[in-house]
């Protein structure tokens, strides 16, 4: 099939995968800094206007989630606190703080990878963004590269458990 015959829906699907892969690369940076690996990228048209990765420990900042960093940078780039016509890609379902920030910022679309059953505020624990009383509705899609996004987190936590076990063993033998 020639390129121009690719159906519109498939084009946006491929685009979503492309940006989610970008977000996964940012999550890797969090991992390298010893932070829970979550990455986010804010896109307007084909342009990246914000990037973030989880870094609350290193920044001594409980609000330094990947999404917050990407939204802050997006505001600086657009010189506007309203981030109209943008899509935020994040590897993990946002928490209630980040979901709230997305509503304030008026992003158009949220695409997330893995679900967060414990703290997810885009449908898992809570559904803040689709609350019927909300004055701004964000279109939400999820499941893009979900298994890769989830695997990065479970690999990270497994590695941390193994590190702790090794430390315990080392302290016993000393
Ligand atoms: Zn968050």
pLDDT in tens, 82-140: 999 999 999 999 999 999 999 999 999 999 999 999 999 999 999 999 998 888 899 99
* CB neighbourhood size of 27 (10 A): 29
Is residue 158 in some structural domain? yes
Give me ligand 1 centre to Cα 7, in Å: 34
Is residue 87 in some structural domain? yes
Give me ligand 1 centre to Cα 167, in Å: 30
Q: 122: which DSSP letter?
A: B
Give me ligand 1 centre to Cα 126, in Å: 13
Residue 140 structural domain = 16-171
> pTM for the whole thing?
0.91
Is residue 1 in some structural domain? no
Give me ligand 1 centre to Cα 92, in Å: 9
- Closest by CA to 32, choosing from 55, 59, 52, is 55
- Closest by CA to 16, choosing from 115, 123, 89, 100, is 89
**149 annotated binding-site participant:** no
Is residue 97 in some structural domain? yes
Categorize the per-residue pLDDT at 151 as very low, low, confident or very high, splitting at 50, 70 and 90. Answer: very high
3-class state of residue 88 by DSSP: strand
Residues, beta carbon < 5 Å, ion ligand 1: 65, 95, 97-98
Is residue 121 in some structural domain? yes
**104 annotated binding-site participant:** no
Give me ligand 1 centre to Cα 94, in Å: 5
Categorize the per-residue pLDDT at 11 as very low, low, confident or very high, splitting at 50, 70 and 90. Answer: confident
Is residue 156 in some structural domain? yes
Q: 136: which DSSP letter?
A: S
Is residue 4 in some structural domain? no
**65 annotated binding-site participant:** yes
Q: Domains in the chain: how many in total?
A: 1
Q: Which active-site residues does the annotation give?
A: 67
- What is residue 1's predicted lDDT score, i.e. its pLDDT? 45
100: domain CATH number is 3.40.140.10
- Closest by CA to 102, choosing from 133, 74, 77, is 74
3-class state of residue 112 by DSSP: strand
Is residue 58 in some structural domain? yes
């Amino acid at each position: 099939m020639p390129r121009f015959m690719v159906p519109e829906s498939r084009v946006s699907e491929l685009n979503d995968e492309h940006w989610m892969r970008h977000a996964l690369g940012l999550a890797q940076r969090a991992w390298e800094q010893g932070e829970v690996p979550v990455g986010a990228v804010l896109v307007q048209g084909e342009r990246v206007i914000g990037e973030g990765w989880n870094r609350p420990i290193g920044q001594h900042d409980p609000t330094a989630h990947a999404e917050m960093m990407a939204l802050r940078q997006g505001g600086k780039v657009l010189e506007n606190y309203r981030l109209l016509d943008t899509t935020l890609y994040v590897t993990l379902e946002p928490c209630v703080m980040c979901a709230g920030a997305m509503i304030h910022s008026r992003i158009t679309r949220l695409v997330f990878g893995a679900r967060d059953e414990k703290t997810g505020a885009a449908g898992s624990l809570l559904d803040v963004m689709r609350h019927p009383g909300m004055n701004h509705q964000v279109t939400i899609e999820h499941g893009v590269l979900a298994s890769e996004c989830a695997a990065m987190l479970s690999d990270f936590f497994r590695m941390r458990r193994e590190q702790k076990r090794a430390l315990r063993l080392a302290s016993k033998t000393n």
